[in-house]
Amino acid sequence: MTLTRYGWHQWLAITIVFVFVAVIAAYFQLWLVLIPIALLWLALVSFFRNPWRRIPRDLPEGTMVSPADGVVSGVEYLGSHETVDGPAVLIRIFLSVLNVHINRVPCDCELDKTLYRKGKFLDARTNESAKVNESNTLFLYTKGERIGLRQVSGKIARHIVCPIESGDTFSQGQQFGMIKYGSTTELILPRPDDVTVHVSKGDKVRAGVTLFAMLPHPK
């Protein structure tokens, strides 16, 4: 278990503050105070944990792994979506403050572009939040076909991290960013009639590990 580089400013600052407070408590021999200080530090720093993951290999072609940890909050079939320029299936994941917040790509892919939109910070558990909250959309190419990934802020999460650029390439399960403290992540796939979705609403998923969906090659 390590701490993610995407939040090093925050977890380093938290650590410095808590070390300072702990030194003062120790100086005045307030030993019982050290216990809640340590527990609070652990709780705050855990937001930035980066657990080691064994990414599945040799998966069938077209397999998508989950792009986030959390609970599947919806599977929607849309008549059109901007990321795929046509009909799509959208799979939405809700991340609570207790989940790992790092995002991973669902397959081998290349970034075409990103589209950031300012917005509100409604509770990520509401349907409206996915439409009006701050978001960052990734337009990705895989096997010559475009798919989409969307990071959506929540009521608590107000900092989307995505330090990547057009032309960057990624291997399946590779990290590309995070949303700081609880939020929503969406995977958008084209040709919904051909897609096999392996998860249902309410399922718990793990980024880079859970088999999420299958997008076969177009006929």
Name the catalytic one among 66, 135, 183, 200.
Answer: 183
Sign for the pseudo-dihedral over CA of 77, 139, 63, 96: negative
C-alpha–C-alpha distance, residues 12 and 21, integer Å: 14
183 catalytically annotated? yes
Helices and strands (DSSP H and E) totals, the chain: 3, 16
Residue of 137, 136, 130 whose CA lies nearest to 155: 130
- The beta-strand segments (E) located in 59-210 are 63-65, 70-81, 86-95, 102-104, 109-117, 135-142, 145-153, 160-161, 169-170, 175-179, 183-190, 196-197, 204-205
Q: How far apart are CA 128 and CA 23, in angstroms?
A: 46
Active-site annotation, residues? 183
